[in-house]
Amino acid sequence: MTPEHTEAARKGPLEKKVRDQVRKIVGKENCSDRREDLFLFAYDGMNRRYLPDMVVHPKDAQQISAIVKLANQEGFTVVPRGAGSGLSGGSLAIDGGLVLTVQNMRRILEIDEESMTAWVEPGVLNVELQEAAEEKGLFFPPDPASMNYSTIGGNAAENAGGPRAVKYGVTGEYVMALEVVLPTGEIIHTGSAAIKSVTGYDLTSLMVGSEGTLGFITKLLVRLLPIPETIRTLLVAFPDLHMASKAVARLMASRVVPSTLEFMDREAVDCVRDYLDMKIPDDTSALLLVEVDGSAAVVDMEADVLERVCREIGARMILRAGTPEERDSMWTARRSISPAIMKIRRMKINEDVSVPRMKIPDLIDGIEGIARKREVKIVNFGHAGDGNVHVNVLVDPDDAGEMERGDEAVKDIFKLVVSLQGSLSGEHGIGISKAPFLGLELTPQSQEVMRRIKRALDPNNIFNPHKSFDFDPASARREIPRSYE
């Protein structure tokens, strides 16, 4: 950004006349500037806190447009916010201003069984869409770990993935059309209900994954799929991580495409042993959780192929779920990693790096070396099928030395990932947490193109400033201290 654009339009705390105008637009019951209310919207899953000047709950694109036009006129910033479950700080009001939520936009407007599509508002929870679609014999494939509380609008803003991404892809592959309020207040419609459309630039894809910096999504048309008839689930233990990685490669080359292919390293396995109803071999260095779905006759054959491949590689244990309860137990282990590791340390620095599948052993080996060098504990798990690894650096927030070593470990990990031709983020986005490291992956020329797009759509830097390539290191001074009471 140019210096004047990076500075954004903010002139200081919102004046009373501006607050009164906002109240007229949405109604006083749909906004608040009480400090206790502001604190509820000052943080996300990243666990850093920035206090907005006002929290507003608009009901439609017209109200948002009016607020955005006022923001350009009066010079304050606007931060779109879903459920606040993001892990990169993308919904934090680090420059104050207004937080615009989606809590009054939570309707599933239509599910069309014939076209297998759904029109939804951005505040609809992922799980709510899943349940509504299932009643029609359909499903929405993107299934982030936060599906029970994250919104479809937030999923689109971050281009969220999930375990099923290895077969079905990420959120952006299911968003067909959008209604969007631009940073200058115009309301536009992107995309089409047609399956194929190449008319003009793909503005839908531009908005998906833009982390609320280019527009506020107010409606989404998403594609649905028929529910698979049957699912088969296998839990496979290996005594060596390289065996597990070799199995991943062989599984993907077996002409069987798993619907999920998750992995847990030795540290992760140790964390969740208490959550499992089955005995895991003591020498297990890696677990794979593999699923195939489709017609019953086909998935049984595919499960046999996967089991044979794992045995040939040297699997120490293979369990096939025979009942829904057994499948739930296996998934409980996978989903229990995050809460389980908090027993080791009070805080985790959660990164979601991505590397080519065959580079996972090199990544884990490198991370183990970094853990020894920096004297911190690191737990790894994630989506082996698409190379997306969740790296958790465990630290004690009261131990300044360990916090510093944890930060240095993260820097080392990012450098390692890029050296392996990987990416800093597979699904969590950049926000503010990874913004200082963007130059490791993106060239200055690429970042400048992004700045030009931002300037063109948001000339006054109204929308979600100081995120990603627009990062403002001075924003740290505005953060509310952890010890604040």
pLDDT at 354 over 90: yes
Do 58 and 103 touch, CB atoms closer than 8 A? no
For 284-340, how does the pLDDT look when each residue is reduced to its tens digit (9 = 90+)?
999 999 999 999 889 999 999 999 999 999 999 999 999 999 999 888 888 888 878
User: In this predicted structure, what is the pLDDT of residue 329?
Assistant: 87
Q: How far apart are CA 214 and CA 219, in angstroms?
A: 15
Burial of 26 (C-beta count, 10 Å sphere; 0-12/13-18/19+): buried
The pLDDT confidence band at residue 2, using thresholds 50, 70 and 90, is very low
Percent over 70 (pLDDT), the chain: 95
pLDDT band at 10 (very low <50, low <70, confident <90, very high): low
CB 64 within 8 Å of CB 100: yes
Can you list the pairs that 14-21 forms with residues at least 24 positions away whose Cβ atoms lie under 8 Å?
Answer: 14/53, 14/54, 14/76, 14/96, 14/97, 14/98, 15/74, 18/70, 18/74, 18/76, 19/54, 21/70
pLDDT of residue 274 exceeding 80:
no
Q: Is the pLDDT of residue 471 over 90?
A: no
**Residue 12 binned pLDDT confidence (cut-offs 50, 70, 90):** low
Q: Worst-scoring range by mean pLDDT, 30-34, 90-94, 343-347?
A: 343-347
State the pLDDT at residue 6.
47
All domains in the chain, ordered by first residue: 3-103+442-478 (3.30.43.10), 108-226 (3.30.465.10), 230-338 (3.30.70.2190), 344-427 (3.30.70.2740)
Instruction: Find the mean pLDDT for residues 395-417.
Output: 96
Spatial separation of the C-alpha atoms in residues 191 and 352, rounded to whole Å: 29
pTM for the whole thing?
0.93
183-225 pLDDT, tens digit per residue, is: 999 999 999 999 999 999 999 999 999 999 999 999 999 999 9
pLDDT tens profile 115-174: 999 999 999 999 999 999 999 999 999 999 899 999 999 999 999 999 999 999 999 999
What pLDDT is attached to residue 1? 47
pLDDT surpasses 70 at 476:
no
What's the pLDDT band for 23 if we cut at 50, 70, 90?
A: very high
Identify the band that residue 81 occupies on the pLDDT scale cut at 50, 70 and 90.
Answer: very high
Residue 3, pLDDT > 50, answer: no
